[in-house]
Amino acid sequence: MTQKDYDEIFTKLLELFPNPDTELNFETPFQLLVAVMLSAQTTDRQVNVVTDKLFLKVKNPNNVLNMTEEEFTKQVSSVNYYKMKAKHIRETAKKLIELAAEKNSKLTKNEKECFDKYWYYLPESIEWLTQLPWVGEKTAKVILYVRYHHDIIAVDTHIHRVANRLWIVKTKEPLETSKEIEKAVPKKWKRIAHHSLILFGRYYCTAKKPQCENCVLKDFCRNPQI
Ligand code: SF4
């Protein structure tokens, strides 16, 4: 794929989604982390239904630990795998509080701003973030992208599917896509690539019934089924 092809693809995606951004609702960095952890195997819409109420009480890790396990679990009970997710979020809240005490003198500028404002911070590196219980590389990349504005692409099933249909990558697994797409997408488009590809996959190039007839990216499509 040439630079001109990428220019055309992402210009068209920008016309479809002028402000590609996360559809998860949150105010504080910790709420972002909780929303992303709840979103595994669950739609953003359903996560927002849960967090609209939950985030009235939960703004930081201490708020989670101040609730009983039963109370917290009940609050998230309408998302898939809620018991496991509630346990993971509570363990992550504990670890964040420990980390804040350990790492306070060595924070990055962004982490320090976060700490000064909220009295805790989210680590600004994949290595640190993935030390949090049950935070994997994809969740870590979403945090770096949304909270710390890193130009990074966190690959989910939508991006994996769309990137392969458009032949941005030719891969079999999302993990492989994650490595290849970072090399493939030109720097100038990295900032919008993450959310514009997700939104395109979510609303147009869906897994089962892609809207191929009116697709603005049809000229680039290599999906053998169309
Ligand atoms: S033509 Fe269909 S399969 Fe190809 S990118 Fe467009 S919506 Fe997706």
CB of 205 shorter than 6 A to ligand 1: yes
pTM for the model:
0.88
The pLDDT score that the predictor gives to residue 99 is 82
What percentage of residues in the chain have a pLDDT greater than 90?
80
Delineate the domains of the chain, giving CATH numbers in brackets. 3-20+152-220 (1.10.1670.10), 29-146 (1.10.340.30)
* Residue 200 Cα to ligand 1 middle (Å): 9
84, 76 contact by CB (below 8 A): no
Confidence of residue 104 (pLDDT cuts 50, 70, 90): low
Asked whether residue 55 carries a pLDDT value surpassing 90, the answer given is yes
- Average pLDDT, stretch 40-55? 95
* Residue 20 Cα to ligand 1 middle (Å): 19
- Average pLDDT, stretch 166-170? 95
Q: Which of 12, 16, 161, 221 to mutate to test the pocket of ligand 1 (most atoms within 8 A of CB)?
A: 221
Q: What is the distance between the alpha carbons of residues 82 and 190, in angstroms, rounded to a whole number?
A: 33
Asked whether residue 156 carries a pLDDT value surpassing 80, the answer given is yes
Handedness of CA 100, 113, 22, 45 (dihedral sign): positive
pLDDT digits (tens, 9 = 90+) for 19-34: 888 999 999 999 999 9
- Average pLDDT, stretch 35-42? 93
